[in-house]
Amino acid sequence: MAAMKHTDTETVAMPGNAPSVGTVPLAVDLDGTLIGSDAMAESLIVLMHKSPLQLLRLPLWLAGGRAQFKSRLARIASPAVATLPYRRPVLELLQEERSKGRELVLATGTNEALASKVAQHVGLFDRTIASDEQVNLTGETKAQRLTEMFGVRGFDYVGNGWDDVPVWSQARKAILVEPGPLLRRRVAASTQIEHIVRGRGNHLESWLEEMRWQHWFKNVLLFVPLIAAHHLYDFEALVQPALAFAAFCLCASSIYLFNDLADLPSDRSHPVKKLRPLASGRVSIRGGVLLQAFLLVCALALGSILPAGFLATIGIYFVLQVAYSLQLKHVAYLDALVLATGYSLRIVAGAAAAETVISPWPLAVAQLFFFGLALLKRYAELVAMHMHFGQQTNVRGYALGQNSAIYQVGTASGYLAVLVLALYGYLLEEEGLHFVAVVALCVFLLVWTMHVWRMARLGRITGDPVVFVCRDRTSQLLAVVTVAAVLFSG
C-alpha cells in the first residue's frame, strides 16, 4: 500500500509486500491503535469528574480481577466515544480495506459495553470481540480467541504494543502502529510485517508543549524581591532564587498536566484546546500522569534544599492550584482571584528563597494586576467561543451576557493596580526610587492594560494573555521603552 500523507502520522508500506485482500479478516486493537489513548484511563478521568468518591472503591473493584474492574468502570463512567482521539491513518486504512469487501473485527481488551459504542460510532466493523465480566481479552487470551475464530495464520492484526505480540505471533501478517525498534524486531521474528504506521510529529516537542514551557516566563516574578532589595547583580544572592525559579517551573508544569488531565473531556469539545497533546492523543494519559508525578517530585526535591518558607509557599501554591483545577475554576470571579493569588505567591516564594522581606505594596499591585489579567483570559475565551458557537456560549462559570461586567471589573482592577503602584512609588521616593522609574512603570501598565483589553474585544487574544504578550509587537515595544526609561532613571 502506498504511503498516505497526514498531519500527524503516516503509513509506510514494507518492501516486497502487497496489500492484503480477499477473505482474510483484519482484526484491529483499540487502545493506542484505533485511538491514540487508553479507554480505561479515559473512563477513570470521567469517573473523577462524575463521582470522585467512587475512586476510593477502585482497589475493591480491582481485587475482583481486571475483567470485573473494567466492567464496573464501563457501566458508570464511559467516555464520549465521539470525542476520542481516533487515528486518521488507521481509519483510512480500514475504510480502504472495507471497500474491498474485507471483514473487519474490533478485537480489544476494553469492556464490551464501551467497545460496542466505539464500533457503532466508527461504523466500519463487522463484529466486535472484547472483554466481559469474566474474561480480560488481552495478550494470549485475545490470540486464542482469534485463532479459535479464524485459525492460525487465518487473520491479519493491527496493534501497537508489547501486549499484542502473542496475537501477532498467530497472525498471517502484522500492521504496527508507531512501534519502537525493539518491538518491530520482535514482531518481525515471528510474523511478516505488512505496514507500519509511524508518528510524524516530534514527540519531544509534544511533551514540551504539554509542559507549557513557554509559561515559565511567569516565574520571573520570583526575582521581584531581589530587584526590590537591589541585589539582582549579586551572584551569590542569585543562587537560591534561581533554584526557586527552576522548582516553580517544574511545579507549574506539573499543575498544567494535572489540569489538562482533569479537563480532558471538556478540552476534546473545545475548538482550540482539542489540539493540545493530551486531548489529541499525541501524549498518552498514562505518560501524562507519570510526567506530572515526576515533575512534582523534582520540584519538591529542589524546594527541600531551599529555606523552609519557600517549600511551604510552593506547597500552598500547589494545593491551591489543584483545588482550582478540580472545583474553584468553575466559580465566577473566585477563579480569577485564585489565579491572581498564584502570581502573588510567586513573589512571596521569591522573598522566602532570597531570605528577604517583601513589602505588602508590591503584593497588592500584583494581586490587582493579575486579577484583571485572569478576567481578561475569561473575557477572551468568551469572545473566542462566541465566534465558534454563537450566543448561548458559556465558559466555566461565565456566560456570554457577562461580557460587559467582566470588562468593567477587569479594566478597573488594572487601573487600581496602577494607582497603588503610584502611591507605593510616592512613599518610597525618599528612599531613592527615582520619579522617572515610577512614572514609566505606571504609564506602561496603564497603556498596556488599555491595549490588551482592546485586543481581547477584537478577538485577537485566543489563549493565555501572557503568551499573547510575549508575541505581541506593541507589548514588546512598550516593555523595551519602559525598561530603557527605568535604566536611564537609575
> Do the domain assignments include residue 4?
no
Whether residue 217 is predicted with pLDDT greater than 50 in this model: the reply is yes
Task: Choose one of 201, 217, 252: the last residue of a domain.
Answer: 201
The pTM (predicted TM-score) of the whole model is: 0.79
Is residue 128 within 8 A of residue 119, CB to CB? The reply is: yes
272 and 339 in one domain? Answer: yes
Q: Output the nine-digit C-alpha cell for 272.
A: 482550540
119 and 212 in one domain? Answer: no
47 and 193 in one domain? Answer: yes
> Do the domain assignments include residue 344?
yes
Domain hosting 144: range is 9-201
151 and 219 in one domain? Answer: no
Is residue 56 within 8 A of residue 302, CB to CB? The reply is: no
Averaged pLDDT of the chain: 85
Mean pLDDT of 48-71: 86
Whether residue 400 is predicted with pLDDT greater than 70 in this model: the reply is no
Is residue 278 within 8 A of residue 261, CB to CB? The reply is: yes
Residues in the chain: 490
> What would the pLDDT profile of 95-135 be if each residue is shown by its tens digit?
999 998 899 999 999 999 999 999 999 999 999 999 998 99
Q: What gap in Å lies between CA 259 and CA 328, rounded to an integer?
A: 12
> Do the domain assignments include residue 2?
no
Mean pLDDT of 398-421: 87
| CATH code of 32's domain | 3.40.50.1000
Residue owning grid cell 494470549: 140
> Do the domain assignments include residue 262?
yes
Whether residue 435 is predicted with pLDDT greater than 70 in this model: the reply is no
Whether residue 187 is predicted with pLDDT greater than 70 in this model: the reply is yes
Task: Choose one of 169, 201, 233: the last residue of a domain.
Answer: 201
367 and 218 in one domain? Answer: no
15 and 158 in one domain? Answer: yes
> Over the range 122-146, which residues count as b (16 or more CB within 10 Å of their CB) and which as e?
beebeebbbbebebbbbeebbbebb
| CATH code of 226's domain | 1.10.357.140
> Do the domain assignments include residue 1?
no
Whether residue 235 is predicted with pLDDT greater than 80 in this model: the reply is no
150 and 167 in one domain? Answer: yes
How many domains would you assign to the chain? 3
211 and 341 in one domain? Answer: yes
Q: What gap in Å lies between CA 274 and CA 215, rounded to an integer?
A: 19
263 and 236 in one domain? Answer: yes
239 and 135 in one domain? Answer: no
Q: What gap in Å lies between CA 45 and CA 54, rounded to an integer?
A: 12
Q: Are strands 9-13 and 192-199 parallel, antiparallel or unpaired?
A: antiparallel
> Do the domain assignments include residue 73?
yes
Return the minimum-mean-pLDDT range out of 144-158, 320-334, 460-474.
460-474
